[in-house]
Each structure stands twice: as C-alpha cells, then as structure tokens.
C-alpha cells in the first residue's frame, strides 16, 4: 500500500539505536518504530532513535500497542505520534474495532487534515468500549505481567528453549531495564528442526504447570 502511494521503506535492525542516523536517505521523512517488536520483542532504544531522527527534522511514529501508554510513555521518550491497536490491551475483551493515534501539538495539524480528508471516524459504541477498557487496563496489565514473568521463569529452566523469557529481553536488555515493558514473553527454540515443536509442547505443558503453581 505504501509503495502505491509512492512511499519507499527501509527496514532497520531493532537494536540499531543511534546508529539509525547512518541509514537516513535524502528522501527520508519519518521513522516508524514498533517496540517491543512483534514476535521477537526486542526493546528498541527509542530516545536514541528519536534524537537522531529529530536532528534531521524527521517525524517519529511509534506503534506502542504492546507496552501500552502505561508501560511506555512515548512522548516523554521523543515520539511524535503514538499509535495503539485499540483492539488489544485497550479494549481487553476482543469486542472492539478501534485504532488510536495520539499526537503532539506540532503534528496535530497534519494528522487532523489527513483524517478529515480520509473521512475516518470511530463509532460511538467503539468509543464506549474503548473507554470501558481503559478503566481496567492497569489491573489487567498487572496480572498479565505476573503471568508473563511466571511463564518466563518456568521457560528459562527448559532445555528445549534457547533464547527465552527473561534472558531473551537481552535483545536490548539495558534498554529493557530502563524502559521495562513486561507482560510479554518471546520464545525461540534451540534451532533443531524438531525443536520448535518441542518448545511449543513445552509451552503448552508449561502454561498448565504455571497455572497450577501460580494460579494464573
């Protein structure tokens, strides 16, 4: 879709940090960050990326769906437009069709023009469900965090899993400690062809064990 609109994209290593400055091209206008990134869950050094982008006058957009605004305050870290899939943690009950873009004062006029030109609007029912979800977001996330930690601690003892749980956060670990996002666990199997199936089986068994042990 972006290509049809004449927009070129370049993908970067999520652990690139300030090194992203070396990837900017003369026609670069924006940096789109998703942190932690879906599937592999590296936590990017968003302040370093934002500083490099702003030094070139670029706009920083962030998909902040995984961490939510409670676990990652995007604007304080230099983001200009913070994007949430409201369908996930915000809604919390799998019954909401909604996406949210929160912007800075400086980016508001451009965003406002785009959304009025496109005629985008949210239904009143969806707004109601999003507001309902926000009321319980904090308690739900706290429980998600406890569950994720319990599962990660169980997984770290399993031979079938090589880059796992708490250790896997080592992809950006220093940053992960500074900007903890919690509530998410990524698992990698040990590389043999059957290892993935074993890791999945371990996860299935583990979630039962963990539920038994921790009541999660």
Residue numbers at the binding site for ligand PLP (CB under 6 A): 34, 38, 63, 65-66, 85, 87, 99
> For residue 2, how far is the Cα from the chain centroid?
21
Q: Find the shortest distance in angstroms from Cβ 179 to ligand PLP.
A: 16
DSSP one-letter code for 35: S
Name the helix (H) or strand (E) containing 32.
strand 30-34
The residue (of 99 and 163) whose beta carbon lies closer to ligand PLP is 99
Any alpha helices (H) in the chain, and if so which ranges? 46-55, 68-71, 108-118, 124-155, 165-168, 173-178, 195-214
The residue (of 154 and 168) whose beta carbon lies closer to ligand PLP is 168
Q: Find the shortest distance in angstroms from Cβ 175 to ligand PLP.
A: 18
Name the helix (H) or strand (E) containing 161.
strand 161-164
Q: Find the shortest distance in angstroms from Cβ 54 to ligand PLP.
A: 23
Q: Find the shortest distance in angstroms from Cβ 5 to ligand PLP.
A: 19
The residue (of 23 and 100) whose beta carbon lies closer to ligand PLP is 100
Q: Which residue has the tokens 């990652």?
A: 72
CA angle, corner 60, sides to 144 and 47, nearest 5? 65
The residue (of 39 and 124) whose beta carbon lies closer to ligand PLP is 39
């Amino acid at each position: 879709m972006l290509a049809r609109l004449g927009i070129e994209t370049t993908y970067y290593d999520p652990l690139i940090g300030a090194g992203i400055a070396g990837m900017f091209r003369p026609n670069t206008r924006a940096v789109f960050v998703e942190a932690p990134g879906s599937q592999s869950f590296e936590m990017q050094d968003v302040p370093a990326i934002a500083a490099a982008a702003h030094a070139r006058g670029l706009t920083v957009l962030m998909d902040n769906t995984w961490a939510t605004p409670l676990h990652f305050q995007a604007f304080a870290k230099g983001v200009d437009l913070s994007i949430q899939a409201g369908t996930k943690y915000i809604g919390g009950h799998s019954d909401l069709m909604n996406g949210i873009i929160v912007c800075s004062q400086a980016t508001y006029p451009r965003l406002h023009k785009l959304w009025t030109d496109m005629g985008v609007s949210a239904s009143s029912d969806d707004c109601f469900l999003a507001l309902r979800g926000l009321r319980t977001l904090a308690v739900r996330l706290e429980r998600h965090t406890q569950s994720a930690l319990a599962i990660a601690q169980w997984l770290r003892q399993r031979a079938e899993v090589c880059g796992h749980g708490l250790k896997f956060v080592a992809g950006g670990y220093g940053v992960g400690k500074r900007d903890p996002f919690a509530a998410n666990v990524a698992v990698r199997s040990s590389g043999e062809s059957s290892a993935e199936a074993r890791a999945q089986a371990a996860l299935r068994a583990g979630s039962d064990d963990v539920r038994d042990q921790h009541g999660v």
